[in-house]
A and B are shown apart, each in its own frame.
Chain A
Amino acid sequence: MSTKKKAAKTSKSARKPKGGAMRSTRAAMSVATSARSTVKERVAAMAEAPLAVCESDKDLQAMLNVLRNKEEPVEVRLAAMDSLATAAFSVIKFESCRNDYIATLREVAQDPDPKIRESALGLLAGEKDGFAQKKLLEGLQNREKALVPPEKALQLLSYDVHAEAYSVARDIVEKPPNADAKREALRLLAADATSAPLFEKLLRDKDELREIRQISASALHGLNPGKLQRHAREMLLDNSEYDDIQATCLTALTQFGDDEAVGKDEALLKSVDRFSAGKTSSKYKQSARRFLSKYGR
């Protein structure tokens, strides 16, 4: 795809007014959609008058055309997408624009430019759009059809728990194409009730990466808080455990623990006491002290 840079010709209307005041919507839109302005000017102008598209179908179509036009610079196209996404927040005013907006997002979700694709798919995924979900799943099942990297596809699919992605996420945990993809797959599986045993296993695996174990702790906290409490306790009693994961366990117990049970657990309290006095970071010690003071120690 070519990204032609337009000749830099700063017209009077493209220049922002002095003193911080805003130029008129018409002026801003004129600059935004003009190929004669620079990329920087157009991006700035698009941000100034996002609601213009709601007031004029002509402006709406002009902005959508910029977004669709593969000949336009990518930055300008992304700015057009941002401007439309901004206008979409004004739901009532945006009502007349939405149909064309969604259709255009689907079109550019298959754009040659990866940033455009990822941006469009992100917005569609937030709408739980079936088209986007279908494309993302296809891409995970067949790398040649992938529109975004696997970790991004998994992240976007996680917007909708109903997006039939658990099976492919499990496959990716087993055989991750990269570390990011494994992490995102695990985050997605945090909504899958049957994955609790997987998270228990990962949480207790000292050879696993810290971040994986942290994800597992919070996932298990959502799927089976009782089990997390038990594991957290055991891990705090285990002197050979890493400080950082012990700190996560402490946080879980401090925030969400069964106060009555924890308050009576002498072994646990002593272990945390040792932790607070041991060779660990000051932040972790502070966390331990907070825990202990909650239980009157």
Chain B
Amino acid sequence: MQNVATASVQSEPQFAALVDALAADPNRREQLTELLREDHLLYDQRGSATTVRMRGWVLLALARAGVSDAALLFVLEELDTGVDAYLVAAAARALRSYPSPNAAFAPFVMRALTNIRYHDELVSFEGYGEYAISSTGTSPVRELLATLAWLGPHARGALREVESLRAQRGGLSKKLLIDVDRAVEAIRDADQVDEPGTDTCCTLPSGLSNTFSWALSSRRGSEPIESTVFEDHEGASITFKEFFRGHPSIVVFFYTRCDNALKCSLTVTKLARVQKLLEARGLADQIHTAAITYDPAFDLPARIRGYGQNRGVRMDDRHRMLRTTDGVNALRRHFKLGVNFIESLVNRHRIEAYILDAEGRIAACFERMHWDEQQVVDRTIEVLQEKSDETTSEVSPGPADCPARHKTKTVSPIFGTLASLGVAFFPKCPICWAGYLSVFSIAGLNQIPYSPWLQPMLVAVMLINLASVWLRGRLTGRMSGFYLVSAGAFAIVLLNMGLGWENAAVWGVALTLAGSLMSALSGKNASQVVE
């Protein structure tokens, strides 16, 4: 959801002013995170360098305002795969404004240091869009070393690596070596040592749940893009439906002109590794793979074939490099791709990999951080093995070395009906209460004292059911269930409780039950995803 008013933002100075305003307003600071989404409208038709300036300014604003869990993902992403000095420096600084250091951050900082150290350059954070043209200013290496110092003992796992920065021939300047020493000292600081066992290496904050999402029973149909036509690496045409239906698939996105080796080149290389893992398990015929280019106009078949070959990608009928020949926007919408463009050229994109089920629906998505090949294969095998009538899922938290998972719950419409029953016939006094519960004396429920707070709670559950039915109706396009449940709620709350019409309670319950059942039975995706 793009809450930020974007219509008025045309120029970079206007953008900077917007960011500053958001950062200064505690009630609107959260909107800064939204501005880091690659597909945000504000980045449309911007060049890459412009996009860097804009994103960097947002990161710096977060550094002043404080990084929330939601924003943390973007900060760590930049450290994980960023190659632009300005952005890496800004991300390193922003990380220090997270409420507390965490040992899980250290590998990201060290990775960033490895990626950027030989491309270090001075950057200026003084004003929007400024570049350092003198020897003052900071640099990504400097900021990263400061972040290591901030991490202190939480970076114990990286101590040897940090110390080795000193030992290497050539190496860092004297100024930066002082920063290295400072970091080493902070890491070794015994006074800050936590309780043993409270700080494992990969206990990432729960805000990083968005790196991986898993939706076993709430998958959108692929109808909008089933007729999308692709051309593969041999120039053969094939539709989405023809290639992706009938078996699970692993899909990655890339483009051949991506100049960040940590993104597309590595993603496609990893796809090749995934293919080998599938082959080793004898599943290469049952699970398809595809790499789809963001840049179909330029990435012609020969180009994508060469790109794949040069990265060891297997290419045949079940494993293809693809470009869309029409329907690229539909594809973008369907996958909610994290990408934006200037004309037809990508200006920035995130890492993204998807698992599609046998119906071509998105079953899982890996975003932003580099995904593990084995994990992707394991997840895809689960999709391969799942039963088609599975309706519930509660994904348990994964092992400690995996990102936190996204829990899903489904709310059955039956609860809503029961809630409406409860509201309609709630005892109006303690004596009636006792009378009701005596019916259940065998269950011992008559021992429960009169609880008037139950009624508003049941009303709330009823309203939740109403909202649930509404959402389901929006998804399936069938709103009749919602209308019935609304009528039922009106009858119970206003006519029965408000005006005292007793018959209205029966009608209300009946309408609620009918509407809920109609909603539950209509369409394929009858369950609601609630965080």
State yes or no: do A and B touch (Cβ within 8 Å).
yes
Q: B453 at the A/B interface (Cβ < 8 Å)?
A: no
Chain A, residues 115-141, CB within 8 Å of chain B (1/0): the string is 000000000000010110110000000
Closest residue on chain B to residue A90 by CB atoms:
B170
Q: A106-B133, A223-B298 are in contact. Are A133 and B49 (CB under 8 A)?
A: yes
B49 x A164 contact (CB < 8 A) = yes
Shortest distance in angstroms between B199's beta carbon and chain A's nearest beta carbon? 32
Q: A103-B132, A161-B257 are in contact. Are A98 and B120 (CB under 8 A)?
A: yes
Closest residue on chain A to residue B297 by CB atoms:
A193
Shortest distance in angstroms between B15's beta carbon and chain A's nearest beta carbon? 15
B172 x A225 contact (CB < 8 A) = no
Closest residue on chain B to residue A107 by CB atoms:
B133
Q: A194 at the A/B interface (Cβ < 8 Å)?
A: yes
Q: B430 at the A/B interface (Cβ < 8 Å)?
A: no
Chain A, residues 168-202, CB within 8 Å of chain B (1/0): the string is 00000000000000000000000111100000000
B117 x A95 contact (CB < 8 A) = yes
Q: B86 at the A/B interface (Cβ < 8 Å)?
A: yes
Q: B281 at the A/B interface (Cβ < 8 Å)?
A: no
Please pick, from A95, A166, A225, the residue contacting B171 in the complex, using a CB distance under 8 A.
A95
Q: A130-B49, A130-B53 are in contact. Are A166 and B343 (CB under 8 A)?
A: yes
Chain B, residues 327-368, CB within 8 Å of chain A (1/0): the string is 000000000000000111111000000000000000000000
Interface size counted on chain A using CB atoms at 8 A: 35
Please pick, from B48, B170, B173, B346, the residue contacting A99 in the complex, using a CB distance under 8 A.
B173
B135 x A100 contact (CB < 8 A) = yes
A91: chain B residues within 8 A (beta carbon):
118
A98: chain B residues within 8 A (beta carbon):
118-121
B343: chain A residues within 8 A (beta carbon):
166-167, 192, 194
Shortest distance in angstroms between A96's beta carbon and chain B's nearest beta carbon? 4
Closest residue on chain A to residue B141 by CB atoms:
A99
B135: chain A residues within 8 A (beta carbon):
99-100, 103
B342: chain A residues within 8 A (beta carbon):
162, 164, 166
Q: B428 at the A/B interface (Cβ < 8 Å)?
A: no
Shortest distance in angstroms between B83's beta carbon and chain A's nearest beta carbon? 10
A-B pairs with CB below 8 Å: how many?
Answer: 106
B122 x A102 contact (CB < 8 A) = yes
Q: A57-B174, A193-B298 are in contact. Are A164 and B47 (CB under 8 A)?
A: yes
Please pick, from B50, B133, B295, B297, the residue contacting A103 in the complex, using a CB distance under 8 A.
B133
Please pick, from B50, B117, B121, B171, the residue contacting A164 in the complex, using a CB distance under 8 A.
B50
Chain B, residues 110-150, CB within 8 Å of chain A (1/0): the string is 00000001111110000001011111010100000000000
Q: A162-B345, A193-B344 are in contact. Are A130 and B46 (CB under 8 A)?
A: no
Q: A93-B170, A193-B297 are in contact. Are A99 and B139 (CB under 8 A)?
A: yes
CA distance in complex: A99, B85 (Å): 11
Contact residues, B32-71 vs A (CB, 8 A) = 46-50, 52-53
Please pick, from A92, A103, A223, A224, the residue contacting B121 in the complex, using a CB distance under 8 A.
A103
Shortest distance in angstroms between B448's beta carbon and chain A's nearest beta carbon? 67
Q: A106-B133, A223-B298 are in contact. Are A96 and B170 (CB under 8 A)?
A: yes
CA distance in complex: A54, B48 (Å): 32
CA distance in complex: A162, B134 (Å): 26
B259: chain A residues within 8 A (beta carbon):
128, 160, 162
A92 x B347 contact (CB < 8 A) = no
CA distance in complex: A284, B363 (Å): 59
Q: A163 at the A/B interface (Cβ < 8 Å)?
A: yes
Q: B302 at the A/B interface (Cβ < 8 Å)?
A: yes
Q: B169 at the A/B interface (Cβ < 8 Å)?
A: yes
Closest residue on chain A to residue B343 by CB atoms:
A166
B47 x A54 contact (CB < 8 A) = no
Closest residue on chain A to residue B136 by CB atoms:
A103
B172: chain A residues within 8 A (beta carbon):
95-96
Q: B421 at the A/B interface (Cβ < 8 Å)?
A: no
Closest residue on chain A to residue B296 by CB atoms:
A193
A97: chain B residues within 8 A (beta carbon):
173
A96: chain B residues within 8 A (beta carbon):
170-174, 176
Please pick, from B121, B169, B345, the residue contacting A161 in the complex, using a CB distance under 8 A.
B345
A163 x B133 contact (CB < 8 A) = no
Contact residues, B433-477 vs A (CB, 8 A) = none
B171 x A103 contact (CB < 8 A) = no
Q: A57-B173, A193-B344, A194-B343 are in contact. Are A99 and B49 (CB under 8 A)?
A: no
Chain A, residues 147-172, CB within 8 Å of chain B (1/0): the string is 00000000000001111101100000
List, sorted by A's number, 25 A–B pairs whose CB atoms are closer than 8 Å: A57-B174, A95-B170, A96-B170, A96-B174, A97-B173, A99-B173, A103-B121, A103-B122, A103-B137, A107-B133, A107-B134, A130-B53, A133-B49, A134-B131, A162-B48, A162-B345, A163-B47, A163-B48, A164-B47, A164-B50, A166-B345, A192-B343, A192-B344, A193-B298, A223-B298
Kindly list 9 other residue pairs between chains A and B, CB separation below 8 angstroms, not including A107-B134, A162-B347. A54-B170, A92-B168, A98-B119, A99-B139, A107-B133, A160-B48, A164-B46, A192-B345, A225-B302
- What residues of chain B have their CB less than 8 Å away from a CB belonging to chain A? 46-50, 52-53, 86, 117-122, 129, 131-135, 137, 139, 168-174, 176, 257, 259, 295, 297-298, 300, 302, 342-347
Question: Would you list the 10 A-B pairs with minimal beta carbon distance, nearest first?
Answer: A164-B47, A193-B297, A162-B48, A96-B173, A130-B49, A131-B131, A193-B298, A106-B133, A92-B170, A102-B121
